[in-house]
A and B are shown apart, each in its own frame.
Chain A
Amino acid sequence: MNFDDTPQEAEFRSLARKWVAANAPKEFEEELSKSSLGRIRLARHDMVEVGKAWQKKKAEGGWACLHWPKEYGGRGATPIEKVIWQQEEGVYGKLTQPFQIGEGMCGPTVMAFGSEDSKRRYLPKLASGDEIWCQLFSEPAGGSDVAGLRTRAEKKGDNWIVNGQKIWTSGAHYSDYGLLITRTDPNVPKHKGLTMFFLDMKSKGVEVRPIKQANGMQEFNEVYFTDVVIPDHQRLGAVGDGWNVSLTTLMNERMSIGSRLATGFPEMFEFCSNLMTDDGLAIDDPATRSKLASWAVKASGLKYTSYRAISALSKGERPGPENSIGKLVSGMMLQDIATYAMDLQGAAGALTGDAEEQARGQFQQMLLSSPSMRIAGGTDEILRNIIAERVLGLPGDIRVDKDVPFNKIPTKGR
């Protein structure tokens, strides 16, 4: 048991470290390292533009999507090399946020189901950040129940005509392409009538509308499709096989090892170490200490769980299912920590201005943003189902709509 790199890993790390030191945009280092919670915003620069410049530089140096094959814009690196790269990229990794959905989900799906022409045309530009991709899965009537989606695609000659609406689409407003799942046959049970496509987001009939979120920010979008034409060669997988294709996409989402999820704990520990209350420092209060200790062991437990996964990768093994716990644990922690940090300040804890509030208003922001961490990318409840079914082997839920033609499934609760 050790934390040491193998000689090959150490060599790769040193190469990566040197490259980052020579090429990273150091003018953003401080700003990036401070924006640990919530979304990344740069005070005087557009996040997407700065991100694109960094991504382009990485692509030129052979450090973009580095676990992808070389011919598609990658480096042909091993999974453990990708983890090492992420560690060395450090705070600059936050600049990759606009490209994560493309790299993590859309790209792998195109790689698995796209034609050779499509792969050579789209993947290198995705890798270099020249073209940004978004994922168009969720709908008003299909969130956790993705297969309940209603966006229709109808075949007309060599094209498909798409009508419908998607929702919760991160980055749709700056994306060039989208991975789109549609219903092509409503007369068969819901999982069987789906088909996957990709499309140009500038196609006629695509309308992107930002959603104002509960935290006041606008990061997600609604995307409306009105008679949008998609050529058949942009179909991924067979007609009616969209559900299986989407499973590839989602599996890639969950395999992203080493992507550090914020728990809020380091910030909370620092906050409690410095906050003076009427009874002394917050960290000297027994109730606070007990909560801090419980959060501390959750945070360290997650860290060392990811180390176990990295060790498996290092040995060429597939990491086990223990990684599915990351978002479930960290999402709840963020919310609990934010609530308690504000509680410690009494009535003043509700104030949000930078000047009035200790710790730069970060806990208030965390409180307002944390509900999304427990919903996006699989709700807490869906994640528990996944753990129960895939890890513990418990039976799936009994599905009353499984064998019913999609157009016969009830659409209203009462």
Chain B
Amino acid sequence: MSNMILLGTRKGTVIFDRSNAGWVPRPIEHPGIPVCYAARDPRDGMLWASLDHGHWGPKLSRSRDNGSTWEDVSSLKYPEGARYIVKYLPTPDFDPEAPTGQPEYKDATVFKIWNLTFGSAEQPGRLYAGTIPGGLFVSDDGGDHWTLNRPLWNHESRGGDLFAGEATSENKWSGTPASIDYGVFEPGIHSIVIDPRDPQHMHIAVSSAGVLETTDGGQTWMGRNRGMLNDYTPEPESAWGHDPHFVMSCSGQPDHLWQQNHCGVFYSEDGAKKWKKVSQPDVGVHFGFPIAVDAHDGRTAWVVPARGDMERMAIGGGLCVARTSDGGQSWQSFNTGLPQENAYDIVLRHGLDVSGDTLCFGGTTGNVYVSEDRGETWQCLGNHFPPVYSVRFG
């Protein structure tokens, strides 16, 4: 059972400690600085925050003393020669049938460090970071130095090895609206899932491309989007072009993966070899951003349903959390303790987490809720936090 919750918010890092009085927030850290992700490394207790400075560029910040002091880490950078094929947000007069011209290349710089995932216990110091514009970075010294994973960056689905020269294949990766704040429309890696049985085995999720898998520690990557359906292209079952909002696995049954996608909730029980759509729009389970998975039972997951995708708000002005315990065949919706009128919260992709029987989520309107009974009843931890970007148990 975790005794810490970390929030990444628009105005800093909020840390809650569990005490006899319940969950108690500390004074905000990184005050005034947008923090798009904050988490605690369970291996060494290091606290991490991904700072999304509006002016000064993305930086990592870490605390070795449980949040008393923090140090900036500015070492995550794209190497010289890292390029990508520029994507543009389709304009109203965009014609998907129009012949494409020559690819336009751009030198890569970090826009956002969107996710930080800690390696296995057998790999002390190993960290992964997912970024916009779509690079996966690896550190083996606790974040002092970072290396771009080139096999993924050079993947044939992105045009091949652009370090070496011109594109040798078509770029299938598209942008994420989350990149528009930076004046671009580029892809981002927001989910990094490590197989606890074998740290060489990982899945990542890219908006907007889909899920990729490696079984050799990142030397080779394969698209894993079979069974996925997207509603917004002429080819819903295409190999690429999917928009996973978040992907997570069951740590005790790692072949059970869950995906809250732009186009529904998807579930795989065979390590993402095949996905199955398990949305139930009639009970509101379809659109949303985050998903949480039970640590022991791979058939149990939670989502925070939202009305999508044109509105992106709570459904009918009321918040609920839905849970399945049978692999998505049925969903149960819970709203006890959650507002049922005049609620317009949207919970972003890293805004929900589970630890044992305890769940917590926070939304863009600054409301934070916790449940100690597997999502069935909820209590509010506060209504006036800054917009919440991430919620993670420490």
A, B: real partners: no
